[in-house]
Structures are given as C-alpha cells and as structure tokens.
Amino acid sequence: MTELRTEIHLAAPAVRPVTAVTTSAREREVFLPRDARRRTPLGTLRERLRWPLGIYTTPVVILIAWEILSRAGVLSATYAPAPTSIVRNAVDLWQQGVLGPDLAISLRRAGIGLAIGLTVGIVTGVLGGLLRSGEYLFNGVVQVLNTIPLLAVLPLMIVWFGIDELTKVLLISFGAGVPMYLNLFAAIRGVDQRLIEMTRTTGAGTWRLVTRVLVPGALPGFLVGLRFSLAYSILGLVAAETVNANEGLGFLITQGQTYLQTGQVFVGLAIYSLLGLLADQFVRALERVLLRWRPGYEGS
C-alpha cells in the first residue's frame, strides 16, 4: 500500500503556480460598477445633467447663452429676440386667438399627410422588400423621387391640384413616404440570410418566416424610416405653408416677415422645432418598447 501511494504521488502532475494578471487602472475602472468609479468634476457634472436634461443639454445651454447675450445687449431684439420674449409673444398670440387656430390647422395637415405618406411607404416598402416584382415596380420610381427636393415639386403640384389643401397634404405625404420606403426596403433586404435559411430548414411556412424573422429583423430599420418620415413631414409642412397659404404656422411666419415682426417669426420657428423634438421623443419611446430585446451602446 505504501509503494502504491508513492507511485500515485510521483505520477501526479505538478500544479503550476497561478500568475497574477496585472491590469491597468483604466481597465480596472471599466469593470467597476458605475457608482464605484472614480469621480471627476466633469464626470459629476455630466451625471447631474443627464437627468432631467439628457440629450437636450446642449440646446438648453444654447438657450441660456442666447438669453444672457440678449439681456446684455449683444444680440439686438430686431434680429434675434430673447427666448423669454419669444415665449411672451407666443402667449400674446394665443390670447389674441391667432396662434391656436393656426396651430390646429397645421397639425391637421401634418397628421393627414403623414398618415397617407406612411401608409404608401410601408405598403410599397414591404412589397418591394419581400417580392422581386415589387422591387422592379417601386424601387426605381422611389429612387428618382428621392433626388427631387420638396420645393421643386411644389410648383408642379400647384399646377396640377391648385392651391387648396390637397396640394399641401400631398406635399407632406411626399416628404413622409419616400424615406419610409427606402429605409424599410433596406431593412427587409438586410435581414441575415442565414437566419432565413435556418428558419426554412425547420419547415416553417411563409407566415412564420415573416412574423418571426423578417419583422423583428426589419424593425430597427422601420423605426429609422419613421424618424426620417416625421422629420421630412415637418419640412413638407413648412414648404407647403409658406407658399400660397392663408392659414397655419407658415402663414403666421409669412405675416411676421411682411410686417417685420421678428418675434412672431421666431414663434413659428420655435413651434416647428418643438414638433421635431416631440417626434424624436415619440420614436425613442417606440424603440425602448419594441427593441427591448436588442442591447445598444449608450456611450461612456
């Protein structure tokens, strides 16, 4: 028994000593929890500004600097009134019964045009992405339309449809439909081919392939197209209302330009900007809900 134990002991492999892996201070900091990392004055300020300002920290800082420069007399009220003065002008226009109706008309135009543009863009994008015949039918036309500016289409629409509401709604639809088709078409065609082949090898039908693979894979591209569609619909609204309009935010801006009321012009521009910010927040909320399964890089 003693000889056997000696043989086993001699045959056992020698255990190598474990060498300590040295890491730099920067690497150790990366793997630490956020609360345990070394705080710098700039990092602390960034953490405090992350909420409630978040991604709008820079616009807020610009507004504060704008207000300070206006009060100091560096910026003339004739050319760039202070943000507080713009807010007062907006309140006055609302109390006079001017801003409310114009805003409601602009929102109605934007809503109808956006609904038509998104419907056409989604339907044609799905057909073009799923079917080769759909690509041949729609892709060339949309690529041509994508190179035509909105202001270049406006005179032709006025000749065809007059200066009524139909022209304005169609111009907004044109601005919303083209980016939706392009992004949705690219998203569907960009789905990983290996996932499609794997799904087909399991015996899944067309409906399961579309609902389980193509729709989740194309969803990020669809949301990108939605963001561009919302932005271009606002641009279409601006183009439609600044030419041959007698009501709406564009008409409000044109009146301010005619009578040299710079504050009124800035009120219309500020509302357009707020509409853009609200559209961006809407898409971000959809991304947080619909893309919960996809991890994303949020910056360091």
Q: Is residue 23 part of a domain?
A: no
pLDDT at residue 234 in the model: 87
Distances (CA, A) of 99 to 92, 112, 233, 248, 255: 9, 20, 20, 9, 12
**Per-residue tens of pLDDT for the chain, all 300 residues:** 444 444 444 444 444 444 444 444 444 444 444 444 455 655 555 555 554 456 677 888 888 998 999 888 888 878 888 899 999 999 999 998 888 998 999 999 999 999 999 999 999 999 998 889 989 999 999 999 888 888 888 888 888 888 788 888 999 999 899 999 999 999 998 888 888 888 888 877 778 888 888 888 889 889 999 999 999 888 888 888 877 778 888 888 888 888 888 888 999 999 998 988 888 889 888 888 888 877 664 545
Q: Contact 159/232 with Cβ under 8 angstroms?
A: no
pLDDT at residue 43 in the model: 55
> Could you give the CA distance from residue 242 to residue 296 in angstroms, rounded to a whole number?
40
pLDDT at residue 44 in the model: 58
Q: Is residue 202 part of a domain?
A: yes
Distances (CA, A) of 151 to 99, 138, 237, 252, 297: 25, 23, 11, 19, 37
pLDDT at residue 182 in the model: 93
Residues 6+ apart with CB under 8 A from 256: 262, 263, 264, 265, 267, 268
Q: Contact 142/202 with Cβ under 8 angstroms?
A: no
Collapsing DSSP states into helix, strand and coil, what is residue 286?
helix
Residues 6+ apart with CB under 8 A from 296: none
Which domain CATH number covers 152? Answer: 1.10.3720.10
Q: Is residue 243 part of a domain?
A: yes
For 41-109, the three-class secondary structure string (H helix, E strand, C coil) is: HHHHHHHHHHCCCHHHHHHHHHHHHHHHHHHCCCCCCCCCCCHHHHHHHHHHHHHCCCHHHHHHHHHHH
Amino acid letter for position 271: I
Domain count, the chain: 1
pLDDT at residue 240 in the model: 83
Q: Is residue 44 part of a domain?
A: no
Q: Is residue 148 part of a domain?
A: yes
Residues 6+ apart with CB under 8 A from 131: none
The DSSP letter of residue 295 is -
pLDDT at residue 92 in the model: 92
Q: Contact 99/245 with Cβ under 8 angstroms?
A: no
Q: Is residue 124 part of a domain?
A: yes
Range of the domain at 107: 99-290
Q: Is residue 198 part of a domain?
A: yes
> Could you give the CA distance from residue 177 to residue 141 in angstroms, rounded to a whole number?
12
Q: Is residue 231 part of a domain?
A: yes
Q: Contact 111/103 with Cβ under 8 angstroms?
A: no
pLDDT at residue 214 in the model: 86
